[in-house]
């Protein structure tokens, strides 16, 4: 998608602070971090929301979680702990409509659901 900021990052049109990359996934530091470690993990393929991942494409979710494990190891927070978040659609807090996972850590995170 030509107007998608994350697609532009994948294409190299917008720079990022790359943390991890493989053939299917790109992970980079968030430019407005909400924790000492805040990494955005995206599929390179444009998928607007979690609801747009067809059942036969469950590999997309698996790719994101495998990347999250690698990012946690790279950022040295795997043993200490971290949080992953996927926001879906406007009421779910999604701002960029390209499926993405937030990986947050580097400190004790507060429960935001209570």
| Structural domains of the chain, count | 1
Q: Residue 114: pLDDT above 60?
A: no
84 within some domain:
yes
Does the pTM of the predicted model rise above 0.85? yes
What is the distance between the alpha carbons of residues 22 and 48, in angstroms, rounded to a whole number? 20
Q: Which of 102, 106, 19 is CA-nearest to residue 64?
A: 102
What is the distance between the alpha carbons of residues 36 and 112, in angstroms, rounded to a whole number? 17
Question: Structural domain of residue 95, as residue ranges?
Answer: 5-105
**pLDDT digit string (tens) for 32-84?**
999 999 999 999 999 999 999 999 999 999 999 999 999 999 999 999 999 99
Q: Which residues contact 40 (CB under 8 A, 6 or more apart)?
A: 6, 27, 28, 29, 30, 100, 101, 102, 103
Distance of CA 114 to the CA centre of its chain: 24
What is the distance between the alpha carbons of residues 82 and 100, in angstroms, rounded to a whole number? 16
Q: Which of 57, 66, 54, 58 is CA-nearest to residue 101?
A: 66
23 within some domain:
yes
98 as an active site residue: the answer is no
Catalytic residue among 38, 46, 98, 100: 100
Task: Give the chain's mean pLDDT.
Answer: 95
110 within some domain:
no
């Amino acid at each position: 998608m030509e107007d998608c900021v994350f697609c532009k990052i994948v294409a190299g049109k917008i720079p990022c602070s790359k943390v991890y990359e493989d053939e299917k996934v790109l992970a980079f530091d968030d430019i407005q971090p909400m924790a000492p470690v805040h990494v955005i993990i995206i599929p390179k393929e444009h998928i607007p929301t979690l609801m747009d991942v067809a059942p036969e494409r469950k590999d997309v979710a698996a790719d994101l979680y495998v990347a999250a494990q690698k990012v946690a190891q790279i950022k040295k927070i795997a043993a200490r702990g971290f949080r992953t978040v996927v926001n879906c659609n406007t009421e779910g807090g999604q701002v960029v409509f390209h499926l993405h996972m937030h990986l947050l850590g580097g400190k004790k995170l507060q429960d935001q659901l209570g």
